[in-house]
Structure 1
């Protein structure tokens, strides 16, 4: 057998093995695709969260480039954030307020991580980022 025919046979063998591998992967994947997967998606609510006066209750939290934190335009210390959040959640536990965070791109990641941890510990359910 000539050397060139051996090379051709090796190339054909490699192509056939690759095709068989692709076919086996497709068959395995197709089986997964035939079984339904249950996903719990968020449901749309008829009315947004409101306070007694009918306006949506939100907390605007801003972090500036120097890592100063502002709670609805009033400067607050990082250490007192969780207490404030807990107090707001206690006012209406069934419908907690929305926390809207506006972080300066130059603020430190560590400060944001602490804010988010405190929000989680205070049972804040609605947290969003704004610009």
Structure 2
């Protein structure tokens, strides 16, 4: 096995680039950039009302819509014979100037399609105050 050690008289040439000055220049440029960037103030100006809001005159009326496990729908405890009758009741609510809150309470075993049908009828009739109650029965 042979190895070329070179002659001892000639100095070795350095072929690596000296990166120390490059790093120094980059750090100086970074510091200058940080110093020249203006401080951003993240604030949003809001015009809030003064004083306390008036107390509510009375709690809104509530309509309870129960959906049984077999798709039977009850309006405040009274059986609704079909979806057409339910549609008429929702239209009557939507026509009122102060709409009552509609609380939909599905049974745990009720079909998803039955619940969505009731919600779709309410939405189509422009009932704006609607919510699903009784969600604690679905917690495990």
Whether TM-score is above 0.5 comes out as yes
Q: 1:47 aligns with which of 56, 60, 63?
A: 56
Q: Taking structure 2 as the reference length, what is the TM-score of the superposition?
A: 0.52
Matched with 1:28 is none
The answer to whether the 8 Å contact 2:93/2:127 transfers is no
* Structure-2 separation of matches of 1:114 and 1:36: 45
* Structure-2 separation of matches of 1:98 and 1:61: 10
* Structure-1 separation of matches of 2:132 and 2:54: 20
Structure 1 residues 35 and 128: alpha-carbon distance in aligned structure 2, compared to 1, 3 A threshold: same
3-state DSSP of counterpart to 1:66: coil
Q: 2:92 aligns with which of 59, 73, 87?
A: 87
* Structure-1 separation of matches of 2:72 and 2:109: 12
Offset at residue 36 of structure 1 (A): 8.0
List structure 1 segments (4+ residues) > 4 angstroms apart after TM superposition: 34-37
The answer to whether the 8 Å contact 1:67/1:108 transfers is yes
Matched with 1:127 is 130
The answer to whether the 8 Å contact 1:98/1:127 transfers is yes
Offset at residue 106 of structure 1 (A): 0.8
Q: 2:62 aligns with which of 58, 64, 83?
A: 58
Which residues of structure 2 form unaligned runs of 5+? Answer: 1-40, 45-52, 135-140
Structure 1 residues 45 and 117: alpha-carbon distance in aligned structure 2, compared to 1, 3 A threshold: farther
State the superposition RMSD in angstroms.
2.4
Deviations, residues 48-70 of structure 1 (Å, cap 9, x unaligned): 7xxxxx55311100001111000
Offset at residue 122 of structure 1 (A): 1.3
Larger Rg: 2
Offset at residue 80 of structure 1 (A): 1.5
Q: Compare the two structures and name the one with the higher helix fraction.
A: 1
What is the aligned residue count?
85
